[in-house]
Amino acid sequence: MHRARRKGGFLWNTFTNANKRKGIFMASTRKRTTKDGQIFYEIRVSRGRGKSYLTTRWYPPEGWGQKAIERTLAKEASEFERRCREGEVVSRAEQKESDLRQKREATKIQTLRQYGEAVFMPAKGVTMSENGRCAYQGNLNHWIYPALGNLKMPDITPANISALLLSMQSDGKAHATCVKVYTILHSLFKMAYMADVISANPMDKVERPKPRKGEIKDKDVEAYTTEEVQRIFAALEHEPLKWRTLMRLLIDTGIRRGECCGLQWKDIDFKAGTITIRGNLCYTPQKGIYLDTPKSGKVRTIDVDPEIIRLLQQLRLEQTSHAISTYVFTQQDSPEPMHPQSPARYMQKFSKKYDVPGLHPHKLRHTFASIAITNGADVASVSEKLGHNDKAVTLRMYTHADQESMKRASQIFRDALKKAGQA
């Protein structure tokens, strides 16, 4: 229903809704004329005492009678009132405030780079080693930030991430590098999703990079055979004592190069024939050379071949003659520990000199596990010696069965069947 009232010289028609309290979101209308003489009706909605009005205009079609105008005007006023009540219509001041608020909220939304620097990497710094953290930071700086760093976290799509990984593969980047970038992004977006920074994890729709055609290496090149190891041993007889000892120690124990470089004399029990792995020597450009905890986080004691113990005794005597050090393996004519990258550099030269393909500290680690397991060593013991927390890692990464081992497995199977048939 409506009633007419006069205010300020204008006749207002007020439309009320019986289901609402009077005076709250109440629509009123008045007839007005533009400068060029066109008639329109101003619809005004009051939102209560002390609140601003919300207004709109309605232009009646030409030739309409007053009853038709009033009937349609009442509907228009009622509809406008509803829109105001439900918040679909706001004042200019409110719209301006809303725009400012949205702008402020938008600035709070972090880009991937901002999130990585302010949240992700500080969190990783708590749980990761310095070496691991630097590796993460390097991949972020080289690959992830240039491609995705300036994009807002909620705006990054699976297509954006897939494009980055495909671009890296197309440029010939190593499969391991592409997988590392994938892993970092997976961890970053999972953290953001769990913290409600993003409403969905785009990595759920990104496939893990696969090796390019022709990039898959034959399993046989991942570890040396026993014959190849004997060739390396023979070549080592012509090398300096320090390198002969280090190489033999890596092959015999499967320890990491950082653990070998971080070995101190106090860690060697010459009587028992054991060494104790207490640290892992690392290097980062920011921190330099430093001694960290073992990668597994656990101290472990392992046995060593008596021949290597004798080499270590000789090395200790040789070292005391020119530079006494707490470390077993030192820099040339210096008590400072050997740089953790030095073994890899030495092995590159050794590989060329003696025609030993692919010689690398990690390959010697593969070799130890492969020969040990394929010749009957139990996985638990090998895993403990390698410093793995999970035996599945040992099986997945280091078991390389040779042809002889596979023949032996087949024969064991056949013998078991024959024995069962005779029972």
Indicate whether 409 belongs to any domain. Answer: no
Residue 7, judged by CB atoms within 10 A of its CB (0-12, 13-18, 19+), counts as exposed
Q: What percent of the chain has pLDDT over 90?
A: 39
Give 1's pLDDT tier (boundaries 50, 70, 90). Answer: very low
Indicate whether 211 belongs to any domain. Answer: no
- Domain tally for the chain? 3
Same domain (yes/no): 387, 241: yes
pLDDT tens, 352-406?
Answer: 999 988 898 888 888 888 788 777 777 777 777 777 766 666 666 555 555 555 5
Indicate whether 415 belongs to any domain. Answer: no
- The CATH number of the domain where 268 resides is what? 1.10.443.10
Residue 62, judged by CB atoms within 10 A of its CB (0-12, 13-18, 19+), counts as exposed
- The CATH number of the domain where 149 resides is what? 1.10.150.130
pLDDT tens, 354-369?
Answer: 998 889 888 888 888 8
Same domain (yes/no): 235, 367: yes
Indicate whether 213 belongs to any domain. Answer: no
Pairing of β 26-33 and β 300-303: unpaired
Return d(Cα 399, Cα 393) in angstroms, integer. Answer: 10
Indicate whether 418 belongs to any domain. Answer: no
Instruction: Give the distance, in angstroms, between the CA of residue 311 and the centroid of all CA atoms in the same chain.
Output: 43
Given a contact cutoff of 8 angstroms between Cβ atoms, the answer to whether 8 and 18 are in contact is: no
Same domain (yes/no): 197, 274: no
pLDDT for residue 376: 73
- Residue 32: in which H helix or E strand, if any? strand 26-33
pTM of full prediction above 0.95: no
Give 413's pLDDT tier (boundaries 50, 70, 90). Answer: low
Same domain (yes/no): 261, 313: yes
Same domain (yes/no): 232, 164: no
Give the relative orientation of helices 241-253 and 306-320 as an angle to the nearest 10 degrees: 150
Instruction: Read off the tokens for 381.
Output: 């013991």
pLDDT tens, 60-109?
Answer: 988 899 999 999 999 998 888 888 888 788 777 777 777 677 666 555 77
DSSP code of residue 65: -
Residue at a domain's end among 92, 124, 140: 92
Indicate whether 100 belongs to any domain. Answer: no
Task: Say whether pLDDT at 313 is over 90.
Answer: yes
Same domain (yes/no): 240, 197: no
Same domain (yes/no): 164, 225: no
Residue at a domain's end among 92, 122, 149: 92
Q: What angle do CA 133, 135, 138 make, to 5 degrees?
A: 110
Same domain (yes/no): 155, 73: no
Same domain (yes/no): 19, 140: no
SS3 state at 216: coil
Residue at a domain's end among 48, 63, 92: 92
Same domain (yes/no): 177, 240: no
351, β-bridge pairs: none
Domain coverage including residue 297: 220-403
Match 């009005």 to its residue by tokens.
53
Same domain (yes/no): 58, 125: no
pLDDT for residue 102: 62
Same domain (yes/no): 139, 225: no
pLDDT for residue 105: 59
Indicate whether 410 belongs to any domain. Answer: no
pLDDT for residue 23: 44
Indicate whether 416 belongs to any domain. Answer: no
From the CB of residue 2, how many other CB atoms can be counted at a distance below 10 Å? 17
Instruction: Read off the tokens for 272.
Output: 């028992």
- Residue 348: in which H helix or E strand, if any? helix 342-354
